[in-house]
Amino acid sequence: MTVTRVASAVAGILTALLLQASLLGPLTFPVPVSLPALLVIVVGIYAGPGIGMALGFATGLLADLGSDHPAGAQALCWLAAGLVAGMLGGLPLQRGYGTRGVAALAALLGAATSGVLGLLLAILGSHAATAMLALTYLIPVGLTDALLALALVPPVRALLRAQGIRPPRPTARLIGSTDRLIGSADRLIGSADALG
């Protein structure tokens, strides 16, 4: 992984967490919409399950450390969301789905992640988290995630396709040195001349 890719991931995580805490959280209260979880899902769809898992765990752990519920709950749920998004992401991309198709998949996974997180927090006994609330907010979270995903998919897709952020392509190289190759060719030509 290149330094540029790590720096881009850190910048994306911090930007999503700051926007969630300062703007999106207060605007959508009490509906538990999560821009960082949606970012993890969209990146997982485009970059695959490995990057989705890593980004989900890192983002979830940072969000857990800044919250008052049990640490690790968001990290676990967002890790799973990145994994599932990466595994399901190949299908819409192979079929050529555009922004709306990817946004719909991201919204569906975002609502499911929110519901699972709410249920997990209710099981762990976090304050104000109940199974009924987790199920009640599934539709509002899904609709809000769909709107957010429509705005989030194009910049994430463009950023992941940017030349400076792409992983380096493997280069073809010869095994051994070119001097040995040239020397072998000279010997072959020399032995052909001796026979002729």
pLDDT digits (tens, 9 = 90+) for 59-95: 999 998 888 888 889 999 999 999 999 999 877 777 7
* Residue 55: pLDDT over 90: yes
- Which token pair is 73? 């709950």
Choose among 182, 69, 187, 54: nearest CA to 121: 69
Give first-to-last CA distance, the chain, whole Å: 55
> What is the helix (H) or strand (E) element at residue 111, kind and residue range?
helix 99-124
Band (pLDDT 50/70/90 cuts) for residue 165 is: low
**Residue 169, phi-psi category: left (phi > 0), alpha (psi -120 to 50), beta (remainder):** beta
pTM of this prediction exceeds 0.85: no
- pLDDT at residue 96 tops 70: yes
Nearest-angstrom CA–CA distance, 158 and 31: 29
Tell me the C-alpha distance between 166 and 4, whole Å: 9
